[in-house]
Amino acid sequence: MSQALASKRPAASTTPTAAGGDPSPGARTRRRRPDLRAPVKAVVGLLAVLGLWEAAVRITRPAEYLLVGPVAAFRRLGEEPGYFLGQAWVTVQEALAGFALGTLLGILCGAALYYVPVLRHFLYPSLIAFDTIPKVALAPLFIVWFGFGFESKALVAMAIAFFPLVINTFDGLASVPQELKELARINRASTWMRMTKIEFIYALPSVFTGAKISISLAVGGAVVGEFIAGSEGLGQVILLANSQVDLPTMFAAFMVLAAISLALFSVISLLAQRLLPWRNRVK
């Protein structure tokens, strides 16, 4: 009887999924789908802020020379898209040039401060003092040295983007666990291998954090340079609109600047996700 019952029992599944092995290809595909909840929430939040702003303007009805809503700003963007696009491209070029130069110098300076203690003791206080100087005050100096062209605006952006990368590069290198250094020493790794295979790899998340901060600061630095010595760019659009009390144009320029900063920040974040696959993502 027991043998007959046993013969009627269904055989145990031997598929990989039921046995605790690898999931099916379909399950792997489903798991690899990007999570769109965070971007959707961000868009909803942005639309909510714009909606509240527009509602407040429509309810309080302030004078147009005091405040306008996002609808008026978007309407102005729609009236002259080519004008705003051309001015935005000028600002983007200045910001990217300053960011690239600030990133290069910031990483090199942060590494030098970490690997050469003498430099750290002598230069670190000077760097902090330099960072406390308002960059608006430095802009006229760059204009005296480099003129009214592209270079002066890019260097103002560089000066603002430089310091976060110095600090984050230094902190990232200083946070390498001692156990990893001991492991490299036990395996007789050369100084170059220790730097490139362990320390700089470990410091990359901190470097990318500094880059996310610096990219937005670089956009602001380019606008500051345009305020002081620009003939084109979004900084000049804002100054001209301010002189004419043209708030729709001014707020349209603000929105374009915000979009540029957000887009560049997203590019840096995407690069960090692609280049740092081992890093745990913040949910």
Place of tokens 């999924």: 17
Distance CA 49, CA 57 (A): 12
- Residue 104's pLDDT is 93
Distance CA 152, CA 132 (A): 20
Indicate whether 19 belongs to any domain. Answer: no
99: domain range? 69-275
Q: In this structure, what token pair is assigned to residue 200?
A: 């700089």
Indicate whether 74 belongs to any domain. Answer: yes
**pTM for this predicted structure:** 0.76
- Residue 177's pLDDT is 81
Indicate whether 135 belongs to any domain. Answer: yes
Query: Mind listing the pLDDT tens digit of every residue in the chain (283 residues)?
Result: 444 444 444 444 444 444 444 555 454 444 455 556 666 777 777 888 888 887 888 888 887 778 888 888 899 988 888 999 999 999 999 999 999 999 999 999 988 888 888 888 888 788 887 777 777 777 778 777 877 778 888 888 898 888 889 989 988 888 888 877 777 777 777 778 877 777 888 888 889 999 999 998 899 888 988 888 767 889 889 988 888 888 889 999 999 999 999 899 989 988 888 887 766 554 4
Distance CA 197, CA 35 (A): 31
Indicate whether 84 belongs to any domain. Answer: yes
Indicate whether 259 belongs to any domain. Answer: yes
CATH code where residue 228 lies: 1.10.3720.10
Indicate whether 11 belongs to any domain. Answer: no
H or E segment to which residue 248 belongs: helix 247-275
Distance CA 129, CA 117 (A): 19
Domain count, the chain: 1
